[in-house]
Amino acid sequence: MNTTSQSAPKPAYVRIFDTTLRDGEQSPGCSMTPQQKLVMARALAELGVDAIETGFPASSQSDREAAGLIGRELRDTSLCVLSRCRPADIEASVRALDGTVRPRIHLFLSTSPLHREHKLRMSKQQVLDAVAENVAFARGFVGDVEFSAEDALRTEEDFLAEVIAAAIAAGAGTINLPDTVGYTTPNEIRGLFQRMIANVPGARDVVFSTHCHNDLGLAVANSLAAIEGGARQVECAVNGIGERAGNCALEEVVMALKVRGAYFDADTGIDTRRIVATSQLLSRLVGMPVQRNKAIVGANAFAHEAGIHQHGMLRHRGTYEIMRPEDVGWPSSQMVLGRHSGRAAVEQRLRALGYLLEESELDLVFAEFKALCEKQRVVEDADLQTLMQEGAETLGYRLASMTVSDAGHRARATVELSDPDGQRVFETAEGDGPVDALFGALAAATGVDLTLESYQVHSVGLGADARGEANLSVRFEEKDYEGSGTSPDIIEASALAWLDVANRLLRQRRTAQQEMAAA
């Protein structure tokens, strides 16, 4: 019996129509210069958006200039400008798009009874006539015309169907049904798209688009529901910026389709690895910081502090992450150390810093860590290293005393150390200077011979509270290590910095031996 293998059907392709430079820029305080818009447009093109709405040419000289700059440089992305259903606006848009390889004119006209009465003062027939006449007029200049029925979700369905039919008949290739005031719900918008696509003449020959605002926090949910209803273009903005509470956030709708692709059976052409960089660029350009708990691009999106979560993440990242941070442009997940963190996370961070501790040693450090968390919200790497240095007397060699003399051409140093078992160790060494002699004596006492790469000392604090801080970089067995130490005496600080590294290496060696013995 012969069988023919058939590949599974491809997911539906959803266009990403980016309106960061138009609707997004209308956010109070988010205006951009034409040059800034060009910089952002380049990033959007690299991100892989299908269409960029560059502005509203009839509204300002700045928008006209930006459209021209972007149109002359970007050749592979559809570039769109917004226009009212007025011949003068359309002509301004045509001039702004001059030289653009893939131009689109995006016409809009309000359709809801509230807008018809109070904003337009137009009858239903006047709206229908304006749509037909202006779409046809724009179509005479460019082959790609989109029509938006402003406030579509509060428009009578039978009249909305008439408007859509008129726009399609006049030559619109994309029909946008915007939730202009963020009023609808997922069930409502899903059903509306399903009915319009099923019943309006010519609807199956055009692309339906959704443009949702976030007044009730439903912009992304409503956009995804519209896709379920048949929409194949999403109008969105980076970081969700836009009028009032903003637009559907590009990064959120794209990653929802990516992560839940099997559910939605749809995908986009976005290079998701560029999402974070694009978000951060926009934040710098408009001076609007991204909230820390913002999905996908917020600083806390892949950060974990709770001990239970950190423990799960260390076992398997899938326990508390549904996507990889690297897939959206973050370097890695973050284990934020704070009051809620557990032993596993602290131990993992110490290992990353080169501290390999036994259980009894970790008990002491973790107790100190918890005490520190009562004084500050977040414990950084530098704080952990300070804890390790302060706890050196129980975790390795401890400096008991030292003398350094410099007579003639050679310096001499004598050190007294307490080893990890509490035994006293004395050693003397000579060197080309006091620090060289000191490090030689420490190497003899501990049996760890380090190659000094760099050495710096400086003062910390003022007046009677001033302390010396020593920082050094050393090489040991083809690897680089760094150590630091502080003391009122700069030579003692240097000894503590050297012991910081030596103790770390000795703990690593001891742990490796224990693991080999256990194996």
Question: Per the annotation, does 503 bind a ligand?
Answer: no
pTM for the predicted model, two decimal places:
0.70
CB within 8 Å of 402: residues ≥ 6 apart:
413, 414, 415, 416, 438, 441, 491, 492, 495
Are residues 209 and 108 in contact, defined by beta-carbon separation less than 8 angstroms? no
Q: How far is CA 220 from CA 25, 164, 235, 252, 383, in A?
A: 19, 24, 10, 7, 40
Question: Per the annotation, does 176 bind a ligand?
Answer: no
Radius of gyration over every alpha carbon of the chain, rounded to an integer in angstroms: 33
* Tens-level pLDDT at each residue, the chain (519 residues): 454 456 678 899 999 999 999 999 988 888 899 999 999 999 999 999 999 999 999 999 999 999 999 999 999 999 999 999 999 999 999 999 999 999 999 999 999 999 999 999 999 999 999 999 999 999 999 999 999 999 999 999 999 999 999 999 999 999 999 999 999 999 999 999 999 999 999 999 999 999 999 999 999 999 999 999 999 999 999 999 999 999 999 999 999 999 999 999 999 999 999 999 999 999 989 989 999 899 999 987 877 756 667 667 667 767 778 888 899 998 877 767 788 888 888 887 787 766 777 787 788 888 888 888 887 777 777 777 777 766 544 557 888 899 998 766 789 999 999 888 778 999 999 998 889 999 999 999 998 888 888 888 877 655 555 677 888 888 888 888 888 787 888 888 899 888 888 887 887 777 677 667 766
User: Smallest Cα–Cα separation from 81: which of 63, 64, 98, 106?
Assistant: 106
- Tokens 């408007």 belong to residue: 163
Are residues 414 and 427 in contact, defined by beta-carbon separation less than 8 angstroms? yes
CB within 8 Å of 57: residues ≥ 6 apart:
63, 64, 67, 81, 82, 83, 89, 92, 93, 95, 96
CA-CA distance, 60 to 150, in Å (whole number)? 21
Question: Per the annotation, does 23 bind a ligand?
Answer: yes
Alpha-carbon dihedral sign for residues 305, 307, 311, 312: negative
All structural domains of the chain:
12-286 (3.20.20.70), 303-392 (no CATH), 396-518 (3.30.160.270)
CA-CA distance, 469 to 392, in Å (whole number)? 17
Question: Per the annotation, does 480 bind a ligand?
Answer: no
